């Protein structure tokens, strides 16, 4: 069977961001600034670098700012044009996904990540697709999803990005049961969502990037609540494993979990330090702060 390309990406953005309250009381957590752009901007850029053509945002109440962010801003553009700020204007235009390339669907109740992905089923249809969890900003020479689509192009099936975490952290994540190594990929024998340390099959965490076959929607439709009383994507993937192969791809790069206050700070500082224009000054500011 020919391997169908991955053209669509699902971005679950309905979460309330309770770990970073009060910042997220009014502003969606995905819109919190990581140096000079909202967190979601990095994740959409990563998807675009992997050749994604259509972005399906699974949103909720109070998330309208995300929809506005990926639309053109007529007044702003006209003002920049009138003031001759051409470089800024061109950058804003280049950042914008093509007309018709974004869809927004609401997850009407916070029933879990699996339920959020299932809400995208009609828009994704019968083709493989990517899922990117926007809490995780990934930085690498080859962006994470691009590395995954490359591996997928050779082997097909389902590909999950993984990375090692300290054993003390396994109960915060989905954890993979690894099988044989196949080049850069690892065959998957199983996976478990948020296991206690003594039940974790490894320290390989599911790091928030997935390429999935559309049959996952059938598994999700029947999925009963799991860890935390939520419909878990991990549980549905485990069931799909009986009929569809799963491989893990260890991520070669840095991951920033912006969903916690300190993780957000780390993401902000790292991206500020790496900025070509301001990085050196940022370093001086941080060093001075540490000395004071």
Q: At 210, is the secondary structure helix, strand, or coil?
A: strand
Q: Which CB atom, from 44 or from 233, has the smaller least distance to ligand G1P?
A: 233
Question: Measuring CA to CA, which residue among 139, 111, 97, 99 is closest to residue 9?
Answer: 97
The residue range among 54-62, 85-93, 144-152, 206-214 that interacts with ligand G1P, by the rule CB under 6 A, is 206-214
Residue with the CB atom nearest ligand G1P in the bound state: 174
How far apart are CB 210 and ligand G1P at their closest, in Å?
Answer: 9
Q: Which CB atom, from 9 or from 282, has the smaller least distance to ligand G1P?
A: 9
> Is 132 among the residues that bind ligand G1P (CB under 6 A)?
no
Tally helices (H) and strands (E) across the chain: 11, 13
The token pair that represents 193 in the structure block: 């969502």
Return the bridge partners of 190, or none.
Answer: 177
Axis-axis angle for helices 144-155, 39-49 (nearest 10): 30
How far apart are CB 230 and ligand G1P at their closest, in Å?
Answer: 8
Angstrom distance (rounded) from CA 14 to CA 11: 9
Q: Which CB atom, from 238 or from 282, has the smaller least distance to ligand G1P?
A: 238
| CB environment 236-256: b (16+ within 10 A), e (fewer) | bbbbbbeebebbbbbbeeebb
Question: Measuring CA to CA, which residue among 151, 55, 167 is closest to residue 103?
Answer: 55
* Residues that contact ligand G1P, how many (by CB under 6 A): 14
How far apart are CB 184 and ligand G1P at their closest, in Å?
Answer: 20
> Is 144 among the residues that bind ligand G1P (CB under 6 A)?
no
In the shown chain, the binding pattern of residues 84 to 123 toward ligand G1P, with x for contact by CB under 6 A and - for none, equals -----------------------------x----------
> Is 205 among the residues that bind ligand G1P (CB under 6 A)?
yes
> Is 234 among the residues that bind ligand G1P (CB under 6 A)?
yes
Applying CB under 6 A, among 80, 120, 136, 145 the residue interacting with ligand G1P is 136
Angstrom distance (rounded) from CA 191 to CA 174: 7
> Is 206 among the residues that bind ligand G1P (CB under 6 A)?
yes
The token pair that represents 183 in the structure block: 């080049």
How far apart are CB 89 and ligand G1P at their closest, in Å?
Answer: 35
Whether 114 contacts 232, CB under 8 Å = yes
Applying CB under 6 A, among 143, 208, 226, 263 the residue interacting with ligand G1P is 208
Q: Which CB atom, from 20 or from 80, has the smaller least distance to ligand G1P?
A: 20
> Is 188 among the residues that bind ligand G1P (CB under 6 A)?
no
User: ∠ CA(207), CA(197), CA(204), 5° rounding?
Assistant: 25
Question: Measuring CA to CA, which residue among 155, 246, 161, 211 is closest to residue 9?
Answer: 211
> Is 174 among the residues that bind ligand G1P (CB under 6 A)?
yes
Question: Tokens 């999925």 appear where?
Answer: 223
- For ligand G1P, the binding residues (CB under 6 A) are 113, 133, 135-136, 173-174, 193, 205-208, 232-234
């Amino acid at each position: 069977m020919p391997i169908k390309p991955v053209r669509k990406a699902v971005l679950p953005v309905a979460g309330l961001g309770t770990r970073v309250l009060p910042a997220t009381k009014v502003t969606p957590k995905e819109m919190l600034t990581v140096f000079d752009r909202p967190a979601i901007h990095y994740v959409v850029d990563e998807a675009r670098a992997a050749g994604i053509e259509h972005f399906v945002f699974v949103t909720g109440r109070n998330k309208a700012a995300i929809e506005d962010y990926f639309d053109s801003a007529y007044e702003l553009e006209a003002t920049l044009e009138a003031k001759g700020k051409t470089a800024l204007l061109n950058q804003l235009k280049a950042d914008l996904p093509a007309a018709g390339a974004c869809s927004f669907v609401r997850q009407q109740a916070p029933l879990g990540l699996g339920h959020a992905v299932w809400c995208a089923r009609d828009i994704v249809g019968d083709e493989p697709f990517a899922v990117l969890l926007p809490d995780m900003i990934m930085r690498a020479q080859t962006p994470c999803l691009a590395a995954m689509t490359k591996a997928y192009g050779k082997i097909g099936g389902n590909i999950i990005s993984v990375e090692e975490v300290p054993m003390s952290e396994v109960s915060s994540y989905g954890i993979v049961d690894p099988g044989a190594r196949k080049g850069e990929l690892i065959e998957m024998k199983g996976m478990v969502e948020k296991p206690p340390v003594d039940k974790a099959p490894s320290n390989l965490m599911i790091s928030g990037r997935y390429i999935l076959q559309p049959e996952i929607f059938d598994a999700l439709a029947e999925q009963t609540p799991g860890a935390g009383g939520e419909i878990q994507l991990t549980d549905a993937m485990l069931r799909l494993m009986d009929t569809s192969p799963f491989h893990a791809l260890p991520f070669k790069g840095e991951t920033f979990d912006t969903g916690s206050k300190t993780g957000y700070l780390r993401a902000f500082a790292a991206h500020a330090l790496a900025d070509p224009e301001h990085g050196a000054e940022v370093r001086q500011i941080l060093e001075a702060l540490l000395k004071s």
